[in-house]
Amino acid sequence: MDLSRNLESANLGSHLSERLAVIGSRRVEANTVLCLDLSDVRKEYARKMESLALVRNGSTGELHEGYWLCEITAAGINGRETVPLYQTPYSAEAKDFRTENAELLSAVDLV
């Protein structure tokens, strides 16, 4: 089986996000804490990646090329287990980018 044949599929990312949320949701209970985290992926040496955007490192304040990252993680109240529910990079430079709020609301709606 050729593992790379579906990498160009337009629906691959959304399909994987949906499956991650479905599988992870089995571990979510009424008292589970959901954490939405905005982060970034620094790609300062990348030159040919599409839609690179300027991102700010929250720890250092430095600006670099990269992608924004939206993550939602479930954590048990005892803190012993964390379960990823959603994770996707996005760029304000992408053609289909709307707004950061739209990205966040889309993540919350899926989860």
- What's residue 12's pLDDT? 66
6, part of any domain? no
The domain in which residue 76 lies consists of 31-110
Task: Give domain status of residue 16, yes or no.
Answer: no
Cβ atoms within 10 Å, residue 55? 22
Instruction: Give domain status of residue 13, yes or no.
Output: no
> Quick check: is 47 in a domain?
yes
pLDDT digits (tens, 9 = 90+) for 22-65: 888 888 888 899 999 999 888 878 878 889 998 988 888 889 99
Helix (H) or strand (E) holding 102, with range, is: helix 100-110
The answer to the question of residue 101 being in a domain is yes
Determine, yes or no, domain membership for 19: no
Number of domain units in the chain: 1
Q: Is residue 1 part of a domain?
A: no
